[in-house]
Chains A and B, each alone.
Chain A
Amino acid sequence: MPRRFTPGSLAKERRKRTALKVGMYLFLFLVTLPLAIGYLWLVVGAFSKTLMYGFVPQGFTLQNWDFLWNPRLPGLDVDIWHMFLNTLYLALGVTITVVAVSTPMAYAISRMHFPGRTAILASTLILHAFPPITLLLALYYILHALGLLDNLLGVILVRAGLWVPFAVWVMKGFFDDIPWDIEMSALVDGATRLRTFWKIMLPLVRPGIGAIAVFAFIGGWTEFIFQITFVHNPKSWTLCSYIYAIIGSYRLTNYGLLAAASLFYMAPVLLFFIFTQRFLVRVTVGGMKGGS
């Protein structure tokens, strides 16, 4: 029923809306607080001697950081920087493989006509929704057969392979957005398809390549399940394997060490996150567009 406006009713309405907004902020603040405390603890715990009541810092110290020159795990003779480099190798390996493999594939799917195109596109979409973690046992068998167990290259290939459908889907979207007249004019001028791809199209989809590279890098850097299942030799450990081993061996009594090591491991992701926040929100949705 339409209502009549009087100055009084408008003011009342405005007050109600303001109260509602305050309520929303309060709700968001309260539910987000525990999350923020969890991450804040990583920072506080890493630099404190002890935490009273589990969260009140007592005394500043750098002692928790001595894992940087002494791994503090019995029987482990690999130093932390070696594991850091392994982690970097894993992350870059995944990034390069994903970008190199899915960009041309997405281009072909977006711009070329060939039999089976729809089938390939459909299967990348279905695989995108399909949870790869159920395939772990068979992946173990395949890596065993290829002699790639206990080898970071095996983890790189598996991780990259599982990312390809997602990356192809995102890149296809970027290629689709480029007006085909641009490509047409290059072709009319006599450039080959390959040259057009390399010289004209690639520079235009640079934001897309950046997006899948960031995702692949974070995915590789934070890789957990394949790394701890396929790689046991400490020579190929990443920082993830290291923290996993501390959880197992200290039975979580040394929170200072755990917080410091976790912060060290997470720092690059945190930096990425702070600088690309808005972009991440956008692209996480963009990547999901496949289904929505």
Chain B
Amino acid sequence: MVQSRRRQGGYFRVFLFLAPGLLLILLFFLAPAIITAVMGFTNMDYRFQWNFIGLGNYVRMLHDFLIPKIAVNTLIFTFGTLVIFSIFFALALALTTTSIGERSGLFFQALWLLPRYTPPVVYAVIWLWILSPTKGGLLNGLRDLMGLPPIPWILRYPLGVIIVTNGVIGTSMGMLIFSSAIKAIPRDYLWAARVDGASWFQEVRYIILPLIRWPLMFITAYQTLSYLTSYEYILLITGGGPFHASEVWSLYAYNLAFSSYGGTFEFGYGAALATVLIVVGALASLVYWRIFRLQKMMAPPKIEVL
């Protein structure tokens, strides 16, 4: 009796602790996910009216002549950035920064972390200067120094530009995760290999890589999802242009609704496009859940058991 009264009071107390956080998550995370899915079945525009048109937007998606191009761009961008930067370059940085002195290793890591904390507009300003089509930019300034004519980098290599600019930010995630995994490898393994005459490359190939298999898979899964859906930096640096050459799926959804030059406010169709990404994202999250056995972190707290 006493026990159950205490329990009830306990639940109210728990509710007090949880309520503000749950409210925010509900209002700005779960509700928007549901609203996006429902909005995808309407032809909502700037008047915000819920006119349901069934699968109209999805039929339109099948006939949209831009979609094949955008789907290809999205795949090239996502996997290009993932493989070149998040895996290979991040691994190269992690292996080198953990093999040199600790202080200088941390110094280089911190420098590569800087883009992640730079305001996106400032990061874009730096790149717009580097890639400027005029001689005032870094790359064309260097070409000028060598007597070469300037190249309009963004117009000529739109996909390359968005891969590099996003990759430089994405690298730090893999670098940090791989470094901490490498540091966690017992030193005796490496010493034993060295005594047996292994070269550094053999150490990496036969000891380090097999032991950081899980972090590698984690980064692959996590970064695939984030590249698939991120468009902030693309919006800032190329805007998706020229002529949709660097437009990816998520940016297309954004541009349909908010594009400064189109300004069409196509919320319904944009939401349908976003829904596709949300479904992919939700599926990917479920896969993480299975693969990475996250349940083990959900153990009940000790103090209430007593």
Chain A contacts to B: CB under 8 angstroms: 1-3, 16-17, 20-21, 24-25, 27-28, 31-32, 34-39, 41-42, 45, 51-55, 97, 100-102, 104-105, 107-114, 117-118, 120-127, 129-142, 144, 157-158, 160-162, 164-165, 168, 180, 183-184, 193-194, 197, 218, 221-222, 224-225, 229, 240, 243-244, 247-248, 252-253, 255, 258-259, 262, 265-266, 269, 272-273, 277-278, 280-281, 284-285, 288, 290-292
Tell me how far the C-beta of A86 lies from the nearest C-beta in chain B, rounded to whole angstroms: 14
| B27 & A142 in contact (Cβ 8 Å cutoff) | yes
Instruction: For the A-B complex with A262-B126, A291-B294 known, give 19 more contacts whose Cβ atoms are closer than 8 Å.
Output: A1-B196, A2-B195, A16-B199, A17-B200, A38-B130, A54-B137, A108-B14, A131-B277, A133-B232, A135-B278, A137-B254, A139-B28, A161-B29, A262-B121, A265-B122, A280-B110, A281-B176, A291-B292, A292-B292
| A39 & B298 in contact (Cβ 8 Å cutoff) | no
| A184 & B306 in contact (Cβ 8 Å cutoff) | yes
Residue in B31, B125, B250 whose beta carbon sits within 8 Å of that of A262 in the complex: B125
Chain A binding surface, main DSSP class: helix
19 A-B residue pairs with CB within 8 Å = A28-B96, A41-B129, A41-B138, A53-B144, A54-B135, A54-B141, A97-B24, A131-B230, A161-B28, A193-B13, A222-B118, A224-B236, A240-B120, A262-B125, A262-B126, A273-B114, A280-B110, A291-B218, A291-B288
What is the total number of residues of chain B having a CB less than 8 Å from a CB of chain A? Answer: 120
Given A41-B129, A113-B300, the answer on whether A54 and B39 have CB atoms closer than 8 Å is: no
Bound Cα distance A118, B267 (Å): 35
| A164 & B135 in contact (Cβ 8 Å cutoff) | no
- In the complex, the number of residue pairs spanning A and B with C-beta atoms less than 8 Å apart equals 324
* Selected interface stretch from B15-23, B53-61, B66-74, B76-84: B15-23
| B200 & A20 in contact (Cβ 8 Å cutoff) | yes
Residue in B22, B270, B305 whose beta carbon sits within 8 Å of that of A113 in the complex: B305
Per the 8 Å Cβ criterion, residues 190-226 of B in contact with A are 195-197, 199-200, 214-215, 218, 222, 225-226
Bound Cα distance A288, B297 (Å): 14
**Cβ-closest chain B residue relative to A292:** B218
| A107 & B17 in contact (Cβ 8 Å cutoff) | yes
| Cβ of B253 under 8 Å from chain A | yes
| Cβ of B97 under 8 Å from chain A | yes
